[in-house]
A = this chain, B = another copy of it.
Amino acid sequence: MLKNRVKELRARYGFTQSELGKQVDVTRQTIAFIEKGEFSPSITLSLKLAKVLQVEIGDLFWLEEE
């Protein structure tokens, strides 16, 4: 199962969903869906998010058992 820390890290930087979306070229709804874990973004978008949030991509997204 895919997990992520997008919401936590976005909050740490004080970005709104819209601001983060704009920085990685997606809409705020896409950010919301990712934060809810409703889908598995492309590696391209994932790498952009990791860059903006200044973490290794493996620390932003990971797979858990179950």
Chain B neighbourhood of A56, CB < 8 A? 56, 58
Chain multiplicity (copies) = 2
Count how many chain A residues have C-beta atoms less than 8 Å from C-beta atoms of the other chain.
Answer: 18
Interchain Cβ contacts under 8 Å between A and B, 28 examples: A2-B43, A2-B44, A2-B47, A40-B42, A40-B43, A40-B44, A40-B45, A41-B42, A41-B43, A42-B43, A43-B43, A43-B46, A43-B57, A43-B61, A44-B63, A46-B46, A47-B58, A47-B61, A47-B62, A47-B63, A48-B63, A50-B58, A51-B63, A56-B56, A56-B58, A57-B57, A57-B58, A58-B58
CB distance from A39 to the nearest CB of B (A): 8
